[in-house]
Amino acid sequence: MDRELLIEIGVEELPAAWLPGLTRQLHDRVQARLKELRIAPGAPVESYGTPRRLTAHVARIAERQEDLEEEISGPPVSAAIDKDGRPTPAALGFAKKQGVGFEALGRKQTPRGEYLVFRNHVRGKSAVDALPDLMSGLLRDLSFPKQMHWDAVLDDARGELPFGRAIRWLLFLYGGRVVPFTIGRAANAAGPLVQDVESGALTYGHRFLATSGRAGRSIKVRSFDEYQARLKEHFVVLDHTERRERIVRSLELHARRLGGRVQLKEHATLIEEVADLVEFPAVVAGFFDLAFLALPEEVLVTTLVHHQHYFPVVSDRGELKQAFLAVVNTQPQDERLIAKNTERVVTARLRDARFFWESDRRIPLESRLERLHTLLFHKKLGSYRDKAERIERVAQRIASEAFGVPTEAEHAAKAARLAKADLTSDMVFEFPELQGTMGGIYAREQRLPEQVWKAIYFHYLPIGVESDAPPSREQLGAASVSWAAVSLADKLDTVVGLLGAGEKVTGSRDPYGLRRQMHGIVRVLMDLPELTGLNRELDLSQLAPDAHADVAGFAVERVRYALEQRGFPIEVVRAATASLAISPLRARRVAEALQAMRTSADFQALAVLFKRVKNIAREGKDDGPVDRTALGEPAETALVGELDRRRSRIAEATDGADYKRAFVEIAGLRPAVDRFFLEVFVMADDARTRSARLALMAELRDLILQIADISEIVPQTE
Amino acid sequence: MVTLQQLIFKLSEFWSTHGCLLQQPLDVEMGAGTMHAETFLRVLGPEPWSVAYVQPSRRPADGRFGENPNRLFKHHQFQVILKPAPDEVQQLYLQSLEACGIDLRAHDVRFEEDNWESPTLGAWGIGWQILFDGQEITQFTYFQQAGGIDLSPISVELTYGLERLAMALQDVDDVFDLEWANGVKYRDVRHRDEVEQSKYAFGQIDMPRAEFTALHRTFFDQYYRLAETLLASGLVLPAHEYCLKCSHMFNLLDASGGVGVTERMAYILRVRQLAVAIAKAWIGEKPEEPLAAASA
């Protein structure tokens, strides 16, 4: 009969950021380990996580492992039986090794001849006997961003058992009965205060809350239903979703009472996080002095959200109120008692922030540049002062030349020069996540124009400390061009500079975050029209002409990644990024056009033909011009004619960035190409004819390849 | 009302009944109780050790001339080391808070991830900051490494911020308003020292800035050389004290703006090399390379 499996690993508080991943791992690993143990689950594996427990539950699993049929090969029959028909020592040795007599062995025909085999029937163990292996496997399987040593050992080949946090209890039940399992302790730690962790039928409720008896006492359970019910009684909400929903309801309720609301969408990440910081969530409201509302909103929000995990309350018009909401892990008897303490912390932090806000503004950004000398950017590339000077030049050039907006060049240059100045401010020293933002605010305070202060404010985007989205056109206002120039100049300086200085990016190592930086460059270029109104298909060689050769390949890799992220199928992505020198915007538009065209029959047929064209053209010696006098066959003349007719139309469509029309023109080549392959044998004996035909193929290939390698999207069946 | 000195009594009594030896502060300037030999050296090696003590901790860069309600040049830590770390240590810690008069049921006490690391000591650990209604009152760390040496068994360190904890218990917003003893304020005991030490730490003395910096660099170098000599003479504990002095000189240089970013890293590395060599000498290991190379 199938029975229930219940596992709870009781731990000291796990970091909130780990819980979503660990809960998933737990599900996957229990499922995989059951399969490996040949114990069929009769119901889905469920997993749950709170800061103090990782729980897995399967409503029904088989009572026994499935039997195993093993077939172990021995020596070939030719070497196993002597000429008298008796077993040789090799055969007897094999039988002995399997623990059976020679008569028990069978034979098996293989392509290499006939072999002795031992067919073994392994009877499955009962689940209770097999499940300890599941636990030791599981404890080894779970991986953590950082693990700790806690003087624990398992009785397996590896010995020491590091884990994410110390394990304090193990609830391990099969069909209501305890599955015996022990985590041992290192010999030099074990003693009356450091003991083995033995599996049992016990769990623990909330640290401080209990409906009856003393909080923190053990609770005996026999089934998952009982487990859930008892945990609920003991103030533990097992399910993350349920905790999150309670938090959201409670935040909304409290905010309404304060005549405001909480920006749930903006704070979605914080909500997920606090839901994993608590076992029994509740909300208390705190207040701060009205005078602090004179601080920039960004500073207030950072203090509340990033430093304290508190939610700001805003009015219906979205303006901050002098209140915040804190999610706590208890059922407050007296909300004010807790709130008063939270207010003390918030006030102390805001007082610090106000001090920085006042002292920072006494030093204009321009005079901070000197201090950037002491901040090292990279040992080969100098200080942040040096970086500021470089990006000033690059931003100016991007705005005037690459963007073709010389009127914005001065703004871009000024913003770039000042972009890093806030690194010397006390506020950014204390709140590093406000880098850029503070510089922008201080520039605004100095009455620098919008094109300058906003370019500084947003210049880390689209790859910020918190948000990975670019600013919107509306947010950027008049600063869209200057922002794009500074954002690109800064990231190009980092990527091109560091790659040029010999820093490497490998699969697992990217200490300077160059992949993200390049991703930022690609995203700005890819969406340039939407972000800035500039309709320019720029590639890296136009922005950084002197870049190291590796940079182009690195860029294409990021373009492909960005397109895949936007949901383009891999073959479309490959087709659209065939050229290394491709502009991200052009790649995106080509991918969009391919996506629209790829189902048309002409286009698909042409894609197949194009593959042939590419293969044949490879036979050609050089890419010289086609010797037209050598081409007299009607199918040849027809193809040459088609090409001549369509070449200019394709160029015109491409110049106008109308790749769909270009592909329509290209698809129109299909009948002529088809006929050519039908009637003409390219590899003619006559050398002159052959080379003219190969050159024609190369020309056709290059015409198409300059837009996309459409052979990539040949249907799978071909 | 629990005064600051009652808080110290209560914690001392609690931990002494739970097997801790009550030690005294180390009479050398240092930035944190972790640097005391009773922690830094005793966590090395296999011998069990449980100890508790108050350590006045100097952080020159945090000096605010006695004007900031939360930041101090010198604050006080109550330090507990339990080796090996008992299974019930979280529970014990919470009981110690109850012993100080905290009603755990009425507040929000949380263990939030905060892994401690000291680059100058070559030490790090896994643990939490303990938040009391959002205020950090204790650092709770399972040491994994000290002086670059993997620890076995694992020690647990509890570092109570006495001023923070007392502020929560006494419900005051300004550290200088704390009751040190009945009728005696923190201000009466500590304020003048905060003002004068801050002025010194930020170089506000009758000496040109350059000379101030040069003098403290010289102190650093001299202490460093002495520490090396003491170590070479097999005197680990005196060497450790002079290593602490180096660390304090570096902190003063750092606070007064006397070191650039790159140089800062170099200073930290030098102190670390000394600390690692001292740790190895304590457990009787020979250093891998002569320490002289470190001072180059």
Closest Cβ–Cβ partner in A188, A341, A351 for B132:
A341
Q: Is A188 within 8 Å of B152 when comparing Cβ atoms?
A: yes
- Over 90: is that where the pLDDT of A111 sits? no
CB-based contact B134 A341, cutoff 8 Å:
yes
Q: Is B107 within 8 Å of A330 when comparing Cβ atoms?
A: yes
Whether B133 and chain A come into contact, CB under 8 Å, resolves to yes
> Looking at the domain that runs over A600-713, which CATH code has it been given?
1.10.730.10
Full DSSP string of A505-556: --SS--TT-HHHHHHHHHHHHHTHHHHHS------HHHH-TT--THHHHHHH
Check whether B286 has a pLDDT greater than 70: no
Span A601-648, pLDDT tens digits? 888 888 888 888 888 888 877 667 888 888 888 999 999 999 999 999
Picking from A103-117, A639-653, B108-122, which range would have the lowest pLDDT averaged per residue? Answer: A103-117
Is the pLDDT at A254 greater than 80, yes or no? yes
Specify the DSSP element, H or E, that contains B232. helix B209-232
Q: Note which residues in 31-60 of chain B have CB less than 8 A from chain A.
A: 46, 48
Provide the pLDDT confidence category of residue A453 given band limits of 50, 70 and 90.
very high
Best probe of the B interface among A270, A341, A359, A386, by most B CBs < 10 A, is: A341
Cα gap B25→B56, rounded to integer Å: 7
Q: B261: pLDDT confidence band, cut at 50, 70 and 90? A: low
How many cross-chain Cβ pairs, A to B, lie less than 8 Å apart? 128
Q: Is A20 exposed, middle or buried (0-12, 13-18, 19+ CB in 10 A)?
A: middle
Helices within A399-464 (DSSP H only): 409-418, 426-430, 437-445, 450-457
What is the per-residue pLDDT for B296?
A: 36
The share of chain A scoring above pLDDT 90, in percent, equals 67
A165-188 tens-digit pLDDT: 999 999 999 999 999 999 999 999
Q: Measured between CB atoms, does B61 come within 8 Å of chain A?
A: no
Closest CA to A482 of A395, A419, A417: A395
- Secondary structure class of A624 (helix, strand, coil): coil
User: What's the gap in Å between the CA of B27 and the closest CA on chain A?
Assistant: 31
Which residues of chain A from 497 to 526 reach within 8 Å of chain B, CB to CB? none
pLDDT band at A597 (very low <50, low <70, confident <90, very high): confident
Q: Looking at CA atoms only, how far is residue A285 from chain B in angstroms?
A: 12
What is the pLDDT confidence band of residue A717, given thresholds at 50, 70 and 90?
Answer: low
**pLDDT per residue as tens digits for the range B141-154:** 999 999 999 999 99
Smallest Cβ distance to A146: which of B91, B115, B133?
B115
**B209-295 topology per CATH:** Methane Monooxygenase Hydroxylase; Chain G, domain 1 (1.20.58)
* Integer Cα distance of B110 and A341 in angstroms: 14
Q: What is the pLDDT of residue B266?
A: 84
Q: Rounded to the nearest 5°, which phi and psi values hold at A322? A: -85, 40
- What are the boundaries of each domain within chain B? 4-201, 209-295
Distance CA B179, CA A248 (A): 41
Query: How large is the C-alpha radius of gyration of chain B?
Result: 20
- Mean pLDDT across chain A: 92
Rounded Cα distance, B24 and B243, in Å: 19
The pLDDT assigned to B95 comes to 97
Q: Please check whether residue B234 touches A, CB under 8 A.
A: no
Token representation of residue B46: 């296999």
Mean pLDDT of A313-321: 94
* B262 in reach of chain A (CB within 8 A): yes
Range with the lowest mean pLDDT among A97-106, A360-369, B23-32? A97-106
Whole-number pLDDT of residue B287:
55
> What confidence score (pLDDT) does residue B294 get?
41
- Residue B226 gets which letter from DSSP? H
Beta strands B117-118; B123-132: pairing state: antiparallel
Inter-chain touch B109–A195, beta carbons under 8 Å? no
Q: pLDDT at residue B293 above 50?
A: no
Least Cα separation, residue B78 to chain A (angstroms) = 21
Residue B3 has what DSSP assignment? -
Distance CA B210, CA B215 (A): 9
Q: Chain B neighbours among A 275-294 (CB < 8 Å)?
A: 277-278
Residue B134 has its nearest CB partner, among A193, A326, A333, at A326
Out of A163-177, A230-244, A686-700, which region has the weakest mean confidence (pLDDT)?
Answer: A686-700
Beta bridge pairs of residue B158: B80, B140
User: From CA A168, how far away is CA A183, in angstroms rounded?
Assistant: 10
Q: What is the pLDDT of residue A465?
A: 63
The pLDDT tens digits for A263-309 are 999 999 999 999 999 999 999 999 999 999 999 999 999 899 988 99
Q: How confident is the model at residue B292 (pLDDT cuts 50, 70, 90)?
A: very low
pLDDT confidence bin for B295, thresholds 50/70/90: very low
Domain coordinates in residue numbering, chain A = 3-64+126-233, 68-122, 240-360, 366-587, 600-713
Q: Of the given ranges (A688-702, B49-63, B258-272), which has the lowest mean pLDDT?
A: B258-272
The DSSP code for A625 is: P
CB contact under 8 A, B105 and A209: yes
Q: Which residues of A touch B47 (CB under 8 A)?
A: none
Please tell me the distance in Å from B163's CA to the nearest CA on chain A: 14
Is B168's CB within 8 Å of A341's CB?
yes
**pLDDT value of position A544:** 85
Domain B4-201 has CATH 3.30.930.10: yes
Q: Give the integer Cα–Cα distance in Å for A576 and A596.
A: 13
Is B126's Cβ below 8 Å from some Cβ in A? yes
Q: What is the mean pLDDT of chain B?
A: 93
